Amino acid sequence: MRTHKEYPIQDVAVFKEKLLSWSQQFYEIAWLDSNNYPQKESNFDAVLAVEAFTAIKTDYTEAFNKLLEYQERNKDWLFGYLSYDLKNDVEALSSKNFDGLHFPDLYFFQPQKIFLVIGQKVELRYLKMVDDEMDADMEEILHFSTEQNNVDKPLKDSKPREIKARISKQSYLHKVQEMLHHIHRGNIYEANFCQEFYSEDHEIQPFQVFKNLNEISSPPFSCFMKLEKNYLLSASPERYIRKTGTKLISQPIKGTARRSADELEDQAIAQALQNDLKERSENVMIVDLVRNDLSKIAKKGSVKVEELCEIYSFQQVHQMISTVSAQLEVGIPPVEVLRATFPMGSMTGAPKISAMKIIEELEETKRGLYSGAVGYFMPEGDFDFNVVIRSILYNADRKYTSFSVGGAITARSIPEMEYEECLLKAKAMRKVLTSI
């Protein structure tokens, strides 16, 4: 059981900055922020979870069974991630590509302290063992000076970091052509092909990088996660899947276009994306895949497409998003929903297993947490997870920084245009890493 206490907030933006700055003292941090995006289906505006009471971390072997046991045993708030390579637990697949990050394949923790920002108040959910710290923590947070407390240590090397491409442009174009050959032969209809950009032997300031990335992008599924020496700095616009009672919703993204400072041109770009046959066909194929995945654990006839190919606008890009819902069949545990739908269709392709096999052959980096999911379980078993895209991953021990971008390859794909879309998606992450 958790102690529940509420405090009013006068200036929410200032409080959130103080709260996140204060949190940097802990070894386990999960910060999820909607950035006031006018999205549907949200439990709070932002949440901070810190200081593990219990935790689970493992490789992909029996990972979902271990998570099922952990979630059912604790029945509490749990925060963490599922890496893309859990596909090897779900199907007879493997991951043999280069891995510079070395994150565990799955990591969740049960926090001692939770702060839920809802409107003009913050709700505290503490384990009883730390009841006597609640008031002192709030007092410290409210008086925390983000100017006087430098939570990131100054770095000796302040030169701009060299960002390298794991795949050259020429190699990328060649690999997309190989993907197209698979499509033309009928092996797959669509596959998400990704490439890594990385920096070696350089320290970064994770907290400052995250703040800068969030300021540039202000996405609805922003996340700062620190688990020991491993960091996720995410500006994701995409929800993977959410459970509220018996209702499930998934919101795959397929279709991207740039923004323009000129209002009329920006509207024209959004309209062109709405009418783009290639982008719509990508989106519709993934919607069909999501519907199929949800049907495995949904009540018969309950899977519905609530939105198809709607345009959502973010600070950096316009996105084409669909919303698929379903009613969960009686008796199916929350973790089984994740097992049945993972990895998400927007990051794999169709047919899913064939696409994942081809992806593994053509990509040169183990995806790891990229294109996996990050989120939380609530005590009653509800959950919400995003898709780990537009994200920077950092292993502080290895001084290795990585971000990956990709896109859906279909029969209509033009390799040069796919490469340009990758650069567009990489723009914000490259900027924050080379400007600090």
Q: Give the separation between CA 133 and CA 166, rounded to whole angstroms.
A: 47
Helix (H, G, I), strand (E, B) or coil at 402: strand
Asked if 290 and 342 touch (Cβ cutoff 8 Å), the reply is no
Cis ω on the peptide bond leading into residue 343 (within 30° of 0)? yes
Contact status, residue 152 vs residue 208, Cβ threshold 8 Å: yes
pLDDT digits (tens, 9 = 90+) for 36-69: 887 657 889 999 999 999 999 999 999 999 999 9
pLDDT band at residue 267 under the 50/70/90 scheme: very high
Count of H-run helices and E-run strands, the chain: 11, 20
Average pLDDT over residues 180-204: 96
pLDDT > 90? residue 399: yes
Dist. CA 374–CA 372, nearest whole Å = 7
| Cβ contacts of 176 within 8 Å, gap of 6 or more | 193, 409, 413, 415, 418, 419
The pLDDT of residue 23: 97
Give, in degrees to the nearest 5, the angle at Cα 293 between 288 and 298. Answer: 110
- The span from the CA of 84 to the CA of 66, in Å, is 17
What residue segments make up the domains of the chain, in order of their start? Answer: 2-138+164-434
| Residue range 411-435: mean pLDDT, rounded | 92
Of 195, 228, 240, 217, nearest in space to 402 by CA: 195
Instruction: Provide the pLDDT confidence category of residue 154 given band limits of 50, 70 and 90.
Output: low
Whether residue 188 has pLDDT greater than 60: yes
pTM attached to this predicted model: 0.94
The residue from 18, 254, 357, 366 that is catalytic is 254
What span, in angstroms and rounded, lies between the C-alpha atoms of 359 and 31? 31
Mean pLDDT of the chain: 93
Rounded to whole angstroms, the Cα distance separating 197 from 290 reads: 29
**Average pLDDT for 113-119:** 96
Q: What is the pLDDT at residue 389?
A: 95
Q: Is 121 a catalytic residue?
A: no
Options 238, 279, 360, 421, the catalytic residue:
238
Residues near 287 by Cβ (< 8 Å), separated by ≥ 6?
Answer: 252, 305, 308, 322, 324
Model confidence at 91: pLDDT above 80: yes
CATH superfamily of 2-138+164-434: Anthranilate synthase (3.60.120.10)
Residue 338 predicted with pLDDT over 80:
yes
| Measured torsion, CA atoms of residues 39, 240, 429, 281, in degrees rounded to the nearest 10 | -90
For position 153, what pLDDT does the model report?
57
Residue 278: pLDDT band by 50, 70, 90 thresholds? confident
Place of tokens 């103080």: 18
Render pLDDT for 280-313 as a digit per residue (tens, 0 to 9).
Answer: 988 999 999 999 999 999 999 999 999 999 999 8
Averaged pLDDT for residues 10-35: 96
**What pLDDT score was predicted for residue 160?**
53
Residue 91 annotated as catalytic: no
**Does pLDDT of 128 surpass 60?**
yes
Q: Do residues 234 and 223 lie in contact, with contact meaning Cβ atoms separated by under 8 Å? A: yes
Q: What DSSP state is assigned to residue 230?
A: E
Better pLDDT: 332 or 147: 332
Task: Please compute the mean of the pLDDT values over residues 384-410 and round it to a whole number.
Answer: 96
CB pairs under 8 A, 24+ apart, for 264-271? Answer: 269/318, 270/311, 270/313, 270/318
Note the pLDDT of residue 282: 87
Query: Which range (123-127, 316-320, 343-347) has the least confidence?
Result: 316-320
